[in-house]
Structure 1
């Protein structure tokens, strides 16, 4: 008992706030049990009626711990239309409360814990009893923040993350929603639409492993992506059914859908796999001329930010590597060229040179102007 200052029993505090001053002492006890024990000993030593040393109102928490049942019922009601398995309680207390508690902790030996930690823990127990769900601090499905000063409640729902690969089957649609509204739809919106319908989410974002040009197709094994559904009310959804609905669009196909984790977004955004392309070009040259010129493109190339994107990207020179280039043949008026290159290589510019901003280029090697008619991404070598 040397560490406990028994006169602290006279403080105008509830049992929770009194016991919390000594939260580090005694195992298997709650703070209110510590507080009751300290007051009981003090009453016995001073031959006092125990009830006479209880304050009518706790000067620190304003009796907030007596209202935990009401808080828990309110939270359970707020969560009744949300699908979740785990939750976490967070809280905000006024600066005045936190400063007063710090003063008390300093005065009585700094053996306690913060008021918000106890509040979160005890309220979490109450919510668990009502909902049957698990309270956790590790990646909860739902977080409830209680502003105790204003009795205000905020709900944060963990985003639903779905990994997959997409093929873009039509030209003229961007990967993500266009801020200006210039394009009526995007790969992101086509994928998100059926998911939003079943999850009742409030927003979405697509995280892709790079992106293709708006006028390019994404074929082959597809581009890895994660679609993020914000504030989803439903989490248990049938991904096979979702894929079928997306694929009915005729514009975008998805495959390999599965649920994903937040760390996978970082992995996807930071990955730089080699990519294989097919590009259709129009140029007055023979097959032999093209093959010879294409062979000379293998190796390091210098690319200054293309004219077509320099208004939105830093104007700088990048060194990229071309691993393979070959002539596939002719398709109507287009010569078809296949290129395997480093991630981030501008393939159109590798062909036409962009007035010398990319060097070497096919146009430079041929000594002729050429026109890029179309571009397809046919493989992403990420695995």
Structure 2
């Protein structure tokens, strides 16, 4: 449809300058839609070359009301103020404003496009997002982020309310666990059991004023195993009000209010880090205290060298209620035994990620082959186990 004819028909529809100009939003550069609308309305004949700043009538201004927009552009400043008021309790550095339109307005826009085409048009939603967003950015002195903003406020035009979509705050770090009897994550079936997650999260939740937290660890140690290897983790804070955290002070606070867990190298991170540490398969070094049913023959200890290499482990009995029953192959890289008493010795073991160390020692009724018990020719149990190194 020739541009002037299309313009005339749209004016007959009773459109305001915003809604008129928006049908030609892809024409010209550096113009707002209401300025395009004014150019269209006050020039007898129009062509694509007329959409320049010099042709904007002096009396053009934001606002106006018509059957399509129902006067929403008259309230842009009010919507921006409502967004800022809703965001007042929150610290943020980036934002992306959105709107939710009444269904009738969206249907009216589709009807208009079905009659006159939409090849040069812009959604009314997009224009409102931009106009309200610009004002909010100026008022709050923050930046727009189209990928992962700290908060995305969505203005519900129908209900005159703002809904907030709040991005999690992610903190990366490493931890050591110095006592036994602490799980890595919460035990919902037994609240008496403490966890690394709760110990680390407690002071962070208080400072960030977050609704909750999720703990993402790079693997885990059993509840009765200590960890001295500085295990990677990401603490995900849900709906935090405070984001500009002093991480050095938080680290000090976590490490001084208790002695069970120590954290290191806290820093802000992203979802990519969670994916990376979840997929991490780092080999680990363990120190195991082993008790045998018989006195240890020092000569027999040399047989433990046969454990170096590939072992086969069927899913241990202690975890087969939650893991698939299958046989896995794992590599054992190093073993260093040291006799302590007649039936006790320490064993330093370096193993591939995913190796079951307790079963490597006991054999788990023959489900792990070879094993310490098998090679020594007597029952052997892991009395104490520590993670003393984690490869990065």
* Displacement after TM superposition at 1:40 (Å): 2.0
- 1:15 to 2:17 alignment: yes
1:26 aligns with 2:28: yes
Matches within 5 A, 1:18-97: 18-41=20-43, 57-97=65-105
Equivalent residue for 2:310?
Answer: 300
Whole-Å separation in 1 of the counterparts to 2:342 and 2:185: 32
Aligned match for 1:172, one of 181, 205, 218: 181
How many residues matched? 372
2:78 aligns to what SS in structure 1? helix
One of 92, 110, 113 as aligned partner of 1:105: 113
Distance 1:207 1:27, change over 3 A: same
Does structure 2 retain, via aligned residues, the 8 Å contact 1:12–1:57?
no
Is residue 216 of structure 1 aligned with residue 216 of structure 2? no
Unaligned 5+ segments in structure 2 are 47-58
In the alignment, the residues of structure 1 paired with residue 345 and residue 241 of structure 2 have an alpha-carbon distance, to the nearest angstrom, of: 51
Distance 2:199 2:300 in 1: 39
Question: Could you list the runs of 5+ residues in structure 1 that have no partner in the other structure?
Answer: 45-50
Give the distance between the partners of 2:276 and 2:80, measured in 1 at CA.
38
8 Å Cα contact 1:289-1:366 kept in structure 2: no
1:186-335 matches, cutoff 5 A: 186-220=195-229, 222-248=230-256, 249-283=258-292, 284-286=294-296, 288-330=298-340, 334-335=344-345
Q: Whole-Å Cα distance in 1 between the matches of residues 135 and 352 of structure 2?
A: 55
Q: Is the CA contact 2:314–2:327 (under 8 Å) kept in the aligned structure 1?
A: yes
* Residue aligned with 1:177, SS: coil
Question: Residues of 2 paired with 1:351 and 1:138: CA distance?
Answer: 49
CA distance in 2: counterparts of 1:331 and 1:150, whole angstroms: 76
After superposition, give the CA deviation of every residue in 1:102-124 in whole Å (9 maximum; x if it has no partner).
33234323211222211111110
In the TM superposition, what is the alpha-carbon distance from 1:276 to its structure 2 partner?
A: 0.6
TM-score, normalization: structure 2? 0.89
Equivalent residue in structure 1 for 2:137, among 128, 139, 142: 128
Q: Relative to structure 1, is the Cα distance of residues 287 and 265 closer, same or farther in structure 2, using a 3 angstrom cutoff?
A: farther
Q: How does 1:338-377 map to 2 (within 5 A)?
A: 338-377=348-387
Deviation of 1:182 (Å): 4.1
Q: Is the 8 A contact 2:100 2:156 kept in 1?
A: yes
Farther-moved stretch of structure 1 (131-140 vs 320-329)? 131-140
2:146 alignment counterpart: 137
- Structure 1 residues 32 and 335: CA distance shift in structure 2, 3 A: same
Partner deviation per Cα, 1:286-305 (whole Å, 9 max, x = no partner): 25245223201111111111
Does the 8 Å contact 1:320/1:345 carry over to 2? yes
User: Displacement, 1:278?
Assistant: 0.8
Aligned CA RMSD, in angstroms, stands at 2.3
Cα deviation code 1:146-182 (max 9, x no counterpart): 2223223111222221111100011111101123234
Tell me if structure 2 keeps the 8 A contact 1:20–1:31: yes
TM-superposed CA distance for 1:285, in Å, is 4.1
Is residue 2:339 matched to residue 1:337? no
Cα separation, 2, equivalents of 1:160 and 1:142: 11
2-structure distance, mates of 1:366, 1:242 = 49
TM-score using structure 1 length = 0.91
Residues 292 and 117 (structure 1), Cα distance of their counterparts in 2 relative to 1, 3 Å cut: same
Q: Give the distance between the partners of 1:56 and 1:154, measured in 2 at CA.
A: 26
Contact 1:290 1:327 in 2 (8 A): no
